[in-house]
Amino acid sequence: MTKVADLVARLQEFHQLTAQTPLYNPVFQLSLDLSRRLEAGEISLDDVAGLVSELECDALQSRAARLRRLVDPASAPAALADMIAEDADFDAFAARWQHPQLHAVFTAHPTFLMTPAQSDAVARAASRTDAIDESACPPASERPEITLPYEHGRAMRAMANAQGARDTIVRQLLGHAQAMWPDRWHELDALPFRLATWVGYDMDGRTDIKWHTSVGFRLQEKAERLERYAASLAEIDPAHLLLDTLCKAQAYTAARAGDFARELSDPAALSAAANRLTASDPDKLLSLAPIIDALEAEARDTEGTRAVSLRTLAAAMRADGLGMGWIHFRVNSSQLHNAIRRRLPEGHEIEVASRGALATLRQMLAEVEPLRSNFAALAIESSTAIRQFLAMAQILHHVDADAPIRMLIAECEQPATVLAALYFARLFGIADKVDVSPLFETESALEHGGRFLDALLREEAYADYARSRGRVCIQTGFSDAGRFVGQIPASLAIERLQGRLANAMEANGLADVAALIFDTHGESMGRGAHPSSMADRLEWPLSPWARRRFVRAGIRLEPEVSFQGGDGYMFFMTSELALATLTRIAALRPAETDADVAADPFYRRTDLSLDFYRAIKDNQREHLESKTYSRAITAFGLGMLNETGSRKSRRQSDLSADRDMSLRQIRAIPHNAILQQLGYPVNVISGFGSAAEGNYEDLGALLAASPRGRQMVRLVRAANALASIKTVAAYGELFNSAYWASRTYRGTETALAPACEALASYLTKDDRNGVFRRLASRLRVDALKLHRLLSQVPDDAPMEGREHVRREIGVLQALRLALLQHMFLKAVSIPAFARANDISRDDVLEMVFSLRVEDALAQLRRAYPAQVATLSDYNVDEASDYPDGENEGYSAIHRDYIDPIEAAHALNLRISAAIANQFGAHG
């Protein structure tokens, strides 16, 4: 069994045996076959590496095919031309294209799974029209250290391609308007998309982003954008008079970016950098308004393609300002609460949830007088929240005076929190350029969000602020919501919240301002982005039902979504993919909907749908509160996952804390990623079947008749097509004492008898076998009900090659289980060593069993240091007969135990990446 095809066939044979023995586990049986061959020396770790390489390549090709299917680059140019020609009336044409159909935000949570070479190869394969082959599989390369600057660089590359694609669309829009309406085309201010990023500005959950990091990134972005503007203008006219202005501004900005890229902890260094940035300088460009006016005036005085090109450049400047796009800062509500307490009038104390807090903040807002600030004030500020407002003030004063900044507030559950943010915006004189946006993603925030919005929009100070800004902004998060509520209940709760926003805006006289709804999610089914199609991806977070609530109230909708990290950036990795992505989105028109379409029965039959929603949510809550689920998810810690981002996936803890790790210690994306690796996306699938118990026919008929219902079913089917409860159960068998005690029964594998006996003895006290068995049993009962429900609903998006993909994932899982058995056997066979620094041999074993492999290897290398010097390295006169064998020092222990554990774990992580690529995203 040295070929993947052999393993797939063998797994299929084992699956057939489940008809005879229902509890038979094909995945674990294949892993046992592989383990026996590996321990007998019939296959080596190098052979396993060859199998993993083949499966890695298949997974990368699968990912490229999925990306191509979602956006279809080959059809994009023709689709764009047809779409632009749809409107025969100029006013209708302008109305469609003068407001963004979508705000695209390039975020960077930890999803940088693929190496740069792999990302490039997958993107190139997806961009072409020929068959996807092994060109999607580059030669092995080192994974880079994923730092914040790395993430920022990847974000800027994706945004640059998005800018280029948007320019292509705008150029064609203007060219069409020029030909169709020569007397009016200059009235068209085309703005089909807006771009933004929070990479380097998101302070929620991290302390490694310093204030000068954010300022430095904004200066880098300004320098890069000015360079791109200058290049575009040079293509139009290499001798254009404005080129000198842009080039000098770019050089000045690049120098200032260099100042803020240095270490600025020394007051003298900061003072020098700040003074250079704040000083008056003829090349310090703070607004593009005069340049935009000049370009548009010139375009009116010329004709043909030059005029279109000038207007295209002006449109890009109007869209992005002096940066690669707009920027989003983010803080946690608790940081704002701590900050506002420092500004309370003397003798005042407030409880943020109380009515008294609102009264106090109303008074503070009415009386606040703006304060000047500088970089020294920013440097000495200790409050994270105030520091963010000070940083925004300096950026608006000294980098870009025009582009507004979003202030996102995580875990925002009280209107007073928003008023506190508005207070600081006014205190530092930037309220006219800052959009405060509360984030709703906890169960409590979603449940009470409607009342929150009613109360907030009734506040006169906030309503006046929203009118002056021209928009009400909210953010809805799918990562934590999906983790703690379940993906389907989260989407339905978010949808209801969006509807409540429309009601609140209408009721409070704010229908004349826009509603900007930022739906943050990732690409995988585990965190809010529907995998079936681009249409589903856009409608899942902001449904037609929710859109209609705004349309019927006369409220202009500005949808905003995130393209997250190494997964989301794939849509913009090449110019072809970027154009295809934006074209597909523009064709779907996510900011619009038909207000007169017939009501979806899912919302009309609330006697069925509300109970269905509540039952799924209750099922998900039972898992979350279950010690069984928590222990299974944390059984291997985060050891199955590669490092995929600069933001830490969990808080640090010691070994004893690892043994009782809480799900709340693990962030949402790694939580989802672990579910993928264990073989079952619980937070997507679980509860959907059980919620229909006793009512399969009626609910099946409702889901089949409802567009929203069929969308839910497509999500569940997409997850279920890749899921395997047998795999979940197989991981529990690793900790089954009886398995290890029986493995060498009847004289088989006698060489392993001592190790197996030691494992059997050690694992008698381990709870993980029972935990996985109980979880698998619960999932199986729910799955039986799911299959009954799905039999009532036609499959309108069958997964192509479903069984082949399932088998390949099964083979990957079996290989990993065999490697884990190899590691366990090696670890338990290492000779006992003296206890040192409170680390015992049992602690090292537990580290291996929990896949804290790097920690275990560090302890083993300390206990058994490798001999780095030999006799020949020394020039001594006296002869020596010792050492008299090959295995000098502890080299044999390294060769026979430590090195194989390290090599096996490296293969485990490659398998993790391959499984994630088959799912289409990391977590």
Burial letters for 334-350: b for 16+ Cβ neighbours within 10 Å, e otherwise?
ebbbebbeeeeeeeeeb
| Residue 540 pLDDT exceeds 90 | yes
Q: Please name which of 676, 669, 630 lies closest in space to residue 650, comparing C-alpha atoms.
A: 669
% pLDDT > 90, the chain: 86
Whether omega before 883 lies within 30 degrees of 0, making that bond cis, reads: yes
| 453-460 mean pLDDT | 97
83: left (phi over 0), alpha (psi -120 to 50) or beta: alpha
In this predicted structure, what is the pLDDT of residue 661? 63
In this predicted structure, what is the pLDDT of residue 653? 43
304-310 — which CB contacts under 8 Å span 24+ positions? 305/175, 306/236, 306/237, 307/178, 308/171, 308/174, 308/175, 308/178, 309/171, 309/232, 309/235, 309/236, 310/236
Q: Is 814 helix (H, G, I), strand (E, B) or coil?
A: helix
| 579-584 mean pLDDT | 98
| Least-confidence region, from 220-224, 761-765, 840-844 | 840-844
In this predicted structure, what is the pLDDT of residue 652? 41
In this predicted structure, what is the pLDDT of residue 110? 87
In this predicted structure, what is the pLDDT of residue 415? 95
In this predicted structure, what is the pLDDT of residue 838? 66
Model confidence over 285-296: pLDDT tens digits?
A: 999 999 999 999
Of the pLDDT bands very low, low, confident and very high (cuts 50, 70, 90), residue 834 is low
In this predicted structure, what is the pLDDT of residue 835? 60
In this predicted structure, what is the pLDDT of residue 351? 82
| Residue 903 pLDDT exceeds 60 | yes
Model confidence over 369-413: pLDDT tens digits?
A: 999 999 999 999 999 999 999 999 999 999 999 999 999 999 999
Question: If you average pLDDT over every residue of the chain, what do you get?
Answer: 94
| 118-144 mean pLDDT | 95
pLDDT top residue among 668 and 44: 44
Of the pLDDT bands very low, low, confident and very high (cuts 50, 70, 90), residue 873 is confident
| CB atoms near residue 91 (< 10 Å) | 11
| 593-616 mean pLDDT | 95
Model confidence over 45-85: pLDDT tens digits?
A: 999 999 999 999 999 999 999 999 999 999 999 999 999 99
| Residue 450 pLDDT exceeds 60 | yes
Task: Confirm whether pTM is higher than 0.85.
Answer: yes
Q: Please name which of 319, 323, 301, 320 lies closest in space to residue 310, comparing C-alpha atoms.
A: 301
DSSP state of 328: E
| 193-200 mean pLDDT | 97
Of the pLDDT bands very low, low, confident and very high (cuts 50, 70, 90), residue 664 is confident
| Sign of the CA dihedral running 136, 140, 141, 146 | positive
In one-letter notation, the amino acid at residue 549 is: R
Is the CB of residue 478 less than 8 Å from the CB of residue 491? yes
% pLDDT > 70, the chain: 97
- Residues 6 or more apart whose CB falls under 8 angstroms from that of 587 comprise 79, 83
Of the pLDDT bands very low, low, confident and very high (cuts 50, 70, 90), residue 695 is very high
Q: How far apart are CA 99 and CA 91, in angstroms?
A: 13
- Residues 6 or more apart whose CB falls under 8 angstroms from that of 921 comprise 111, 522, 523, 524, 526, 529, 567
| Residue 868 pLDDT exceeds 70 | no
Helix/strand/coil (H/E/C) assignment for every residue in 763-796: HCCCCHHHHHHHHHHHHHHHHHHHHHHHCCCCCC
Half-sphere exposure of 606 (CA within 13 A, CB side): 5
Q: How far apart are CA 649 and CA 820, in angstroms?
A: 23
| Residue 310 pLDDT exceeds 80 | yes
Q: Which helix (H) or strand (E) holds 327?
A: strand 326-332
Q: What is the largest CA-CA distance in the chain?
A: 101
Of the pLDDT bands very low, low, confident and very high (cuts 50, 70, 90), residue 2 is confident
pLDDT top residue among 647 and 166: 166
| Residue 172 pLDDT exceeds 60 | yes
Q: What is the dihedral of CA 38, 39, 41, 43, to 10 degrees?
A: 0
| Residue 651 pLDDT exceeds 50 | no
- Residues 6 or more apart whose CB falls under 8 angstroms from that of 920 comprise 63, 66, 523, 524, 525, 531
In this predicted structure, what is the pLDDT of residue 799? 84
| Least-confidence region, from 745-754, 770-779, 873-882 | 873-882
Hey, what are 310's tokens?
């000038």
Backbone angles phi, psi at 35, to 5 degrees: -60, -45
In this predicted structure, what is the pLDDT of residue 886? 53
pLDDT top residue among 202 and 664: 202
